[in-house]
A and B are shown apart, each in its own frame.
Chain A
Amino acid sequence: MKIIIELRSQQLLAQGNWLARVSKRAVERREWSKFGDAVNEDVGSRLTAVSTEEIVLERPKPIGSTTIETKPGDPDAVLMVCRNCGKKGDHWTARCPIRNLSQPADEFVDKPPAAAPVSTNNAYVPPSLRAGADRTGGSDMRRRNDENSVRVTNLSEDTREPDLHELFGTFGSVSRVYVAIDKNTGTSRGFGFVNFVNREDAQRAINKLNGYGYDNLILKVEWATPRTT
């Protein structure tokens, strides 16, 4: 048996066949009997199986000039990058087959003055919300008003807005006054709010008018929200 095998391999080599060089001992080992757990194995055991999938050595994507993604004869193709799917040389972002129509909204919410409005697709945008609109003035006014809000309590029944306006107007420009009115009786509920334009005026008003006697009642004047001065 051995002699025949050796002759055969010599023959094949002589014929110039590309033959894996197998050492003599390796050929002998092929004839070894099975041992251990392999003893009772039949030839068709399922331990060893050739993969049904063809596996290739997958090259990583950017290889340089050897990539085959560019269309032949199109020199600009390599520059054509799609931002959505990342493919190069195939299509521009606007022509991406997986065009996602929902833009992420959170990017815009945090920057109100400068950012474009949230996901409008050619809808009308009022001037105040357009990109570049000057909205600083409006918001400042409103914010400062709420910050300079003064609460007045222990008002008499017939105190109304004009009375407070007159009373507090001496300290500075008042942007808004409000007196809480009871709907049923039409009388004051005893408290109201005054919004100053300037914070210093509000502070002076508080200092002067807190404890001031007005219409037989002692007024309590303080900041509308708990605020440290």
Chain B
Amino acid sequence: MRPILMKGHERPLTFLKYNRDGDLLFSCAKDHNPTVWFADNGERLGTYRGHNGAVWCCDVSRDSGRLITGSADQTAKLWNVQTGQQLFTFNFDSPARSVDFSVGDKLAVITTDPFMELSSAIHVKRIAKDPSDQTAESLLVIKGPQGRINRAIWGPLNKTIISAGEDAVIRIWDSETGKLLKESDKELGHKKTITSLAKSADGSHFCTGSLDKSAKIWDSRTLSLVKTYVTERPVNAVTMSPLLDHVVLGGGQDASAVTTTDHRAGKFEAKFFDKILQEEIGGVKGHFGPINALAFNPDGKSFSSGGEDGYVRLHHFDPDYFNIKI
């Protein structure tokens, strides 16, 4: 396949997200402007100007009308996807790390980093249909987890919030009361910071990737460990194919360590694993730096990866990808 290279960001990529229809790709990077691209040919549609810090995460509503972004400038912003206009700003006392719309786009969960004496927190905000009605009040604030929460998403039917972070423990919280319902098992769980979390297409399970060079799949309701995938590199990003039973992991060494090893250009790869057999299917090379973001198009026929090098690589699969057998 011939990947499409998109160099819209000057700084490392942090997050990639496709919209529900799969025709738009949103990219967030450490430069302050999230960008939206057309997912078929990689043509840039626009950028969202307004943030003053690295943008860590974004989510788009189901109708592709609203975009929410979380940034290190201690705000989360709501945008009109089409015009690029800012609709609302949620202010916090510490950098906002992860954002996620609920099913139905009526609520959003935003996590904030620990900052000085403040511990990390999970905020649930109501999203009004009409932006002028939007208020900044939190429906629920959950404090408590140690360390940074790297990702928090809504569980099945918006009943729960699943969070994972630096302390390598996955927690399930009740989304109405804020009570901690479950914690991942310390023995079976990750040993180092969990960097990424991705829900399956139907929400029944999710995949976590960690710096301990492994990724694991967990059941969304019971939090039991289902599968583990082991690689040689710390995992920065995970995604699951909505079409086939594949899991893709992206990661890499620090840039500082690269020069001491074989530095063939573009050596960083996104590794494909068979979801059920836990075996490696192959890798797609090309990035010049560790891969920080991965996303599968909802139709399962293409995927994109964003790296430390600032490039987004959009891959449309060849027909023989769909016939891979182990």
* B140 adjacent to chain A (CB < 8 Å): no
Q: Is the CB of A36 within 8 A of B33?
A: yes
* B216 adjacent to chain A (CB < 8 Å): no
Cβ 8 A contact of B44, one of A30, A41, A60? A41
Q: Taking A29-B24, A37-B47 as contacts, is the C-beta distance between A51 and B3 under 8 angstroms?
A: yes
Shortest CB-to-CB span from B283 to chain A, Å, is 5
Cβ 8 A contact of A55, one of B6, B83, B286, B299? B286
Which of A34, A38, A50, A63 has the most B CB atoms < 10 Å from its CB?
A38
Q: Which chain B residues numbered 108 to 163 have a C-beta less than 8 Å away from chain A?
A: none
Kindly list chain A residues whose C-beta atoms are within 8 Å of the C-beta of B22: 26
Shortest CB-to-CB span from A193 to chain B, Å, is 54
Q: Which chain B residues numbered 12 to 48 have a C-beta less than 8 Å away from chain A?
A: 21-24, 33, 35, 37-38, 40-48
* A47 adjacent to chain B (CB < 8 Å): yes
* B225 adjacent to chain A (CB < 8 Å): no
Shortest CB-to-CB span from B65 to chain A, Å, is 10
Q: Which chain A residues numbered 44 to 72 have a C-beta less than 8 Å away from chain B?
A: 45-51, 53-60, 63, 66
How many positions in chain B have a CB within 8 Å of any CB in the partner chain?
A: 50
A53 to B1, CA, bound (A): 9
Kindly list chain A residues whose C-beta atoms are within 8 Å of the C-beta of B45: 32, 34-35, 38
Q: Taking A36-B47, A57-B281 as contacts, is the C-beta distance between A48 and B84 under 8 angstroms?
A: no
Kindly list chain B residues whose C-beta atoms are within 8 Å of the C-beta of A15: none
Cβ 8 A contact of B282, one of A25, A32, A59? A59
* B179 adjacent to chain A (CB < 8 Å): no
A47 to B1, CA, bound (A): 19
Shortest CB-to-CB span from A42 to chain B, Å, is 12
A127 to B324, CA, bound (A): 61
Cβ 8 A contact of B23, one of A26, A58, A59, A66? A26
Q: Which chain A residues numbered 3 to 45 have a C-beta less than 8 Å away from chain B?
A: 20-23, 25-26, 29-30, 32, 34-39, 41, 45
Q: Is the CB of B286 within 8 A of A35?
A: no
Residue of chain B at shortest CB distance from A22: B23
Kindly list chain A residues whose C-beta atoms are within 8 Å of the C-beta of B280: 60
Kindly list chain B residues whose C-beta atoms are within 8 Å of the C-beta of A36: 33, 35, 46-49, 84
Task: Specify the main secondary structure of chain A where it touches its partner.
Answer: loop
Kindly list chain B residues whose C-beta atoms are within 8 Å of the C-beta of A54: 1-2
* B189 adjacent to chain A (CB < 8 Å): no
Q: Is the CB of A55 within 8 A of B285?
A: yes
Q: Taking A35-B84, A48-B42, A55-B315 as contacts, is the C-beta distance between A60 and B23 under 8 angstroms?
A: no
Q: Is the CB of A37 within 8 A of B46?
A: yes
Shortest CB-to-CB span from A124 to chain B, Å, is 42
Q: Taking A25-B21, A55-B285 as contacts, is the C-beta distance between A30 and B46 under 8 angstroms?
A: no
Kindly list chain B residues whose C-beta atoms are within 8 Å of the C-beta of A47: 6-8, 44
Residue of chain B at shortest CB distance from A54: B2
A192 to B250, CA, bound (A): 75
Q: Is the CB of A58 within 8 A of B282?
A: yes
Kindly list chain B residues whose C-beta atoms are within 8 Å of the C-beta of A66: 325
Shortest CB-to-CB span from B83 to chain A, Å, is 6
List the interface of chain A (C-beta within 8 A of B): 20-23, 25-26, 29-30, 32, 34-39, 41, 45-51, 53-60, 63, 66
Interface pairs A-B: 3 shortest CB-CB:
A36-B47, A35-B84, A35-B46
Cross-chain pairs A/B with CB under 8 angstroms, 29 sampled: A26-B22, A29-B64, A30-B23, A34-B44, A36-B35, A36-B48, A36-B84, A37-B49, A38-B44, A38-B45, A38-B46, A39-B46, A41-B44, A48-B42, A48-B43, A48-B44, A49-B4, A50-B3, A51-B3, A53-B2, A54-B1, A55-B3, A55-B286, A56-B1, A57-B324, A58-B283, A59-B282, A60-B282, A63-B326
List the interface of chain B (C-beta within 8 A of A): 1-8, 21-24, 33, 35, 37-38, 40-49, 63-64, 82-84, 266, 269, 272, 280-286, 299, 301, 313, 315, 318, 321, 324-326
